[in-house]
């Protein structure tokens, strides 16, 4: 494998796709950490802690490279919604967010050479329309909820439920791309490479 401009400390295919789309060359190396929320931990504190821990774990193996870690969660009425373990849990999560406004928070942490570092949290508000029972049944049966915080993907079938987004759209997908690019530039890190061959 050739030199990578970023070591991505995440297994998320959505984060990988967003970064690759603007020309970053990636080495994917997920961090293996406990992602259980601590008692009394807010959604923002939770994702900030996890992103920093993931970046630290992977950066120890790549001290001369740029490492990016991130974590995303959905919060509604004070409750943190992670990834559903099964269809019943997915349905329960979806029933809590349809017809309401919820918050999607993504924290990202960057570590680079010469102790370069940044930690940020970006929050987006998503308002969903009320959803009929048969729509909810079909969505859960289709299985798109698997591996998604809050049991949905805004870039997938659930886009039909979204009435309004206030804030970064890519944040809801899993990575606030504009903010990440800005931080990397400010730190003197790698930049996007816009070419004709960049994946669409």
> Could you read off the pLDDT of 35-82 as tens digits, one per residue?
888 888 999 999 999 999 999 999 999 989 999 999 999 999 989 998
pLDDT tens-digit readout, 4-44 = 689 999 999 999 999 999 999 999 999 989 888 888 899 99
By three-state DSSP, how is residue 115 classified?
Answer: helix
Kindly tell me if the per-residue pLDDT of 3 is higher than 80: no
The least confident of 2-6, 91-95, 126-130 is: 2-6
Kindly tell me if the per-residue pLDDT of 183 is higher than 50: yes
Active site residue 71: yes
How far is Cα 113 from Cα 189, in angstroms, rounded to an integer? 9
- Decide: 163 and 129 in contact? Cβ < 8 Å: yes
Q: Which of 33, 116, 20 is nearest to 70 (CA)?
A: 33
- Single pTM value for the model: 0.89
Kindly tell me if the per-residue pLDDT of 127 is higher than 90: yes
- β-strand pairing of 162-166 with 117-128: antiparallel
Element (H, E) at 128: strand 117-128
Kindly tell me if the per-residue pLDDT of 2 is higher than 50: no
- Residue labelled with tokens 């959505």: 14
How many CB atoms neighbour CB 177 within 10 A? 20
Kindly tell me if the per-residue pLDDT of 1 is higher than 50: no
Find how far residue 21's CA is from the centre of its chain.
16
pLDDT of 78 reads 87
**Mean per-residue pLDDT for 145-159?**
93
By three-state DSSP, how is residue 121 classified?
Answer: strand
CATH topology of domain 6-187: Maf protein (3.90.950)
**Percentage with pLDDT > 90 across the chain:** 83
**Percentage with pLDDT > 70 across the chain:** 96
- Residue labelled with tokens 């050739």: 2
How far is Cα 154 from Cα 61, in angstroms, rounded to an integer? 34
Q: Per DSSP, what are the bridge partners of residue 71?
A: 107
pLDDT of 199 reads 53
Which residue is catalytic, options 32, 45, 71, 137? 71
pLDDT of 198 reads 52
């Amino acid at each position: 494998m050739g030199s990578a401009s970023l070591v991505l400390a995440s297994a998320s295919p959505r984060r990988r796709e967003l970064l690759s789309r603007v020309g970053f060359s990636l080495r994917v190396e997920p961090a293996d950490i406990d992602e259980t929320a601590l008692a009394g931990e807010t959604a923002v504190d939770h994702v900030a802690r996890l992103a920093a821990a993931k970046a630290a774990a992977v950066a120890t193996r790549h001290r001369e490279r740029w490492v990016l870690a991130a974590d995303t969660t959905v919060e509604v009425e004070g409750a943190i919604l992670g990834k559903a373990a099964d269809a019943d849990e997915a349905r329960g999560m979806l029933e809590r967010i349809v017809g309401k406004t919820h918050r999607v928070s993504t924290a990202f942490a960057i570590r680079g050479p010469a102790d370069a570092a940044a930690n940020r949290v970006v929050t987006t508000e998503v308002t969903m329309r009320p959803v009929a029972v048969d729509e909810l049944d079909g969505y859960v049966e289709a299985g798109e909820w698997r591996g998604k915080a809050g049991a949905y993907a805004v870039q997938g079938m659930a886009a039909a439920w979204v009435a309004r987004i206030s804030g970064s759209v890519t944040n809801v997908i899993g990575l606030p791309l504009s903010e990440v690019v800005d931080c990397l530039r400010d730190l003197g890190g790698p930049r996007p490479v816009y070419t004709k061959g960049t994946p669409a």
